[in-house]
């Protein structure tokens, strides 16, 4: 059975290369002073979707909200194997908090239409809140599984996922459609 996945990805400032110029006087990040990169855990989310597609068929749609420059990470999604890429960009969305971001992404996901999975990285390195994925699940009215380490099995409309719970792991079973947030330890992106 083929599965359709939507993967939310984000272009973020490379926080590993922070310099004195990285902060503005008002305490906000000077994004122009830092190189932009693909959010690391979003790469793992993309890889999970691509692995499901390779094994079961279906489609992978990459979705990003950001400035026009965010098209760079979407091109990288296509290069890695995504079928299509969608950029939602509007100056009015600049500096959106997690609530606004999840609302905008949810509207875009609903516009895409049918999906079995929505994958997100656990969190973006520029905010570290881990709230956007769960907020999207709530707005979409679908179940969520956070902290994915491995898709254990997938059959018909049921998935079993191994998730990290801090000092161990658990296997959870969920019905599709489902939103999943993944960890950097879930796989090795291609």
* Lowest mean per-residue pLDDT among 93-97, 133-137, 182-186: 93-97
- The pLDDT of residue 105: 96
Q: Which helix (H) or strand (E) covers residue 25, if one does? A: none
3-state secondary structure of 87: strand
Q: In the numeric block, which tokens belong to residue 18?
A: 């922070």
Quick one: DSSP state of residue 116? S
pLDDT at 32 over 90: no
Most distant pair of Cα atoms in the chain: their distance: 54
In the block, residue with structure tokens 């122009």: 32
pLDDT at 29 over 90: no
Cα angle value 140/146/152 (rounded, 5°): 110
Q: In the numeric block, which tokens belong to residue 128?
A: 């570290």
Question: pLDDT tens for residues 106-115?
Answer: 999 999 999 9
User: pLDDT class for 21, splitting at 50, 70, 90?
Assistant: low
In the block, residue with structure tokens 């990805």: 9
pTM score over 0.85: yes
Q: In the numeric block, which tokens belong to residue 25?
A: 């006087």
* Percent of the chain scoring above 90 in pLDDT: 73
Whether the Cβ atoms of residue 4 and residue 36 lie closer than 8 Å to each other: no
Mean pLDDT rounded to a whole number for the chain: 91
* Lowest mean per-residue pLDDT among 9-13, 30-34, 94-98, 158-162: 30-34
CB atoms within 10 A of CB 8: 29
């Amino acid at each position: 059975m083929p599965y359709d996945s939507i993967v939310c990805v984000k272009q973020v400032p490379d926080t590993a290369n922070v310099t004195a110029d990285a902060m503005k006087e008002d305490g906000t990040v000077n994004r122009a002073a830092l190189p932009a990169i693909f959010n690391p855990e979003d790469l793992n989310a993309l890889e999970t979707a691509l692995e499901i597609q390779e094994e079961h068929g279906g489609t992978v749609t990459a979705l990003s909200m950001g400035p026009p420059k965010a098209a760079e990470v979407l091109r990288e999604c296509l290069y890695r194997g995504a079928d299509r890429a969608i950029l939602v960009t509007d100056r009015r969305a600049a500096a959106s908090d997690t609530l606004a971001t999840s609302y905008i992404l949810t509207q875009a996901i609903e516009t895409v239409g049918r999906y079995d999975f929505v994958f997100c990285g656990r969190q973006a390195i520029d905010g570290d809140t881990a709230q956007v994925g769960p907020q999207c699940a709530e707005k979409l009215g679908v179940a969520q599984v956070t902290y994915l380490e491995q898709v254990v099995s997938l059959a018909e409309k049921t998935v079993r996922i191994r998730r990290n719970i801090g000092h161990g792991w658990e296997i959870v079973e969920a019905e599709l459609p489902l939103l999943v947030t993944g960890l950097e330890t879930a796989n090795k992106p291609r």
